[in-house]
Amino acid sequence: MFKENHELFCLAGLWSVYKNKNNEKKYLHTVITTKSDRKLHNIHQRMPLLYNNELKDWLNISILFNNLNLINANSNLKFYPVSTAVNSIQNNSTRCITESYVNIQDSLF
């Protein structure tokens, strides 16, 4: 998934830091999701919640919950199929993001 103009976009999320029993810092994070739009529903029922261009407002705690403007999932997002190589953390190459053309077998029934 990417913006039509290939600009970066930010995902909504939460993070925290804690110390484990060995007194080592551990960083935790999660991406906040929402119901996917019509275009993405065939890929997954959920999609990341995306920030609009006013990211600085999200980082200002005094206005965090006022007028939360999220980017419309339909606005300028594009996507295409990629190789199944993306399913393994062992793969770390452009092959994981290169468009892949998959032949979909027709149903016999």
Q: Tell me, what's the pLDDT at 55?
A: 63
pLDDT over 80 at 88, yes or no: yes
Cα 73 from Cα 66, distance rounded (Å): 20
The pLDDT-based confidence of 101 (bands split at 50, 70, 90) is confident
Q: Can you tell me whether residue 17 is helix, strand or coil?
A: strand
pLDDT digits (tens, 9 = 90+) for 7-61: 877 788 889 999 999 999 999 999 988 888 787 788 888 888 887 666 666 666 6
CATH superfamily of 2-96: SOS response associated peptidase-like (3.90.1680.10)
